[in-house]
Amino acid sequence: MTEDQNLIQWIYSSKNEQELEERYDQWASNYEKNMAEDFGWFGPPESVDAAVKYVSKDARILDAGAGTGLVGQLLNEQGYQKLVAMDLSEGMLEQARQKHVYGEFHQMVMGETLDFPTDSFDAAISSGVLTVGHAPASSLHELVRVVRSGGHIIFTLRPDLYEDGGFKEVQTGLESDGKWKLVEMGDPKQVLPKGEPDVLHQVWVYEVTS
Ligand SMILES: C[S@@+](CC[C@H](N)C(=O)[O-])C[C@H]1O[C@@H](n2cnc3c(N)ncnc32)[C@H](O)[C@@H]1O
């Protein structure tokens, strides 16, 4: 990290997936403290609120880009018990293990084929992962494949990436192909109000239809 960079810029400036993985591995043990204290991160509650609204408590849920397990912790507090953590970074997954709320842990990369059977989840949730230099728009295809018809996919997305990051094309393409339908789209909200006030996230909820 250079002197004039903060941790978020350091993460965003990763040159490739391997560097991103290494940086998250390095950051993992201080991630929650830094995100809360330095950036005022409140990302997960909104995605979890959406899950509570649409996903039944006995659902098997994939937490895609689970990080240190903040989403799993909140889901578990709401009574969800069949939680599967997946992340690029083993270091982040190691922190998630310490939450004792997930039944499975998988090191996988969104954007590549996921090593899960088709229709093997009732829902997928991805908070703070569809962002600059992280999971690409194409990763939504695999989330649709692994979630059964009638299940839900909940994710946060930066509004600027909707247009510029190829998400609009993928999201509307999946809709016109009859793969999913839009259930809810939240308002853009600041998620890193302290350190990065320009970063906005929007919660999207889709129902898988095929
Ligand atoms: C900002 S953190 C969010 C973690 C957690 N979901 C939360 O809400 O606190 C982003 C996470 O996505 C993971 N990640 C980034 N790109 C990924 C990819 N292509 N596939 C899987 N995980 C990825 C990172 O390792 C990191 O744990």
> Model confidence over 38-73: pLDDT tens digits?
888 866 788 999 999 999 999 999 999 999 999 999
* Closest ligand 1 atom, residue 136 Cα: 19
- The response to whether residue 66 sits with its C-beta less than 6 Å from ligand 1 reads yes
Within a domain: residue 104? yes
Contact criterion met (CB below 8 Å) for 207 and 181: yes
| Closest to 66 (Cα-Cα) out of 88, 45, 50 | 88
- pLDDT mean over 183-202: 90
Residue 96 CB: number of other CB atoms within 10 A?
Answer: 26
Within a domain: residue 1? no
Pick the range with the lowest mean pLDDT from 148-157, 164-173, 194-203. 194-203
Within a domain: residue 28? yes
- The response to whether residue 59 sits with its C-beta less than 6 Å from ligand 1 reads no
Q: pLDDT digit string (tens) for 91-109? A: 999 999 999 999 999 999 9
180 three-state secondary structure:
strand
* Closest ligand 1 atom, residue 111 Cα: 19
User: Is the whole model's pTM more than 0.85, yes or no?
Assistant: yes
- pLDDT mean over 23-37: 94
- Percent of the chain residues past pLDDT 70, beyond the cut: 97
**Total tally of structural domains belonging to the chain:** 1
- The response to whether residue 110 sits with its C-beta less than 6 Å from ligand 1 reads yes
Contact criterion met (CB below 8 Å) for 197 and 7: no
Residue 191's pLDDT is what? 87
For the domain that residue 96 is a member of, what is the CATH number?
Answer: 3.40.50.150
* Closest ligand 1 atom, residue 156 Cα: 8
Burial class (CB in 10 A: 0-12, 13-18, 19+), 177: exposed
Residue 210's pLDDT is what? 85
Q: Domain range spanning residue 118?
A: 7-208
Pick the range with the lowest mean pLDDT from 16-20, 133-137, 180-184, 193-197. 193-197
Q: For atom 13 of ligand 1, which residue has the closest CA? A: 65
| Closest to 205 (Cα-Cα) out of 12, 48, 40 | 48
Within a domain: residue 2? no
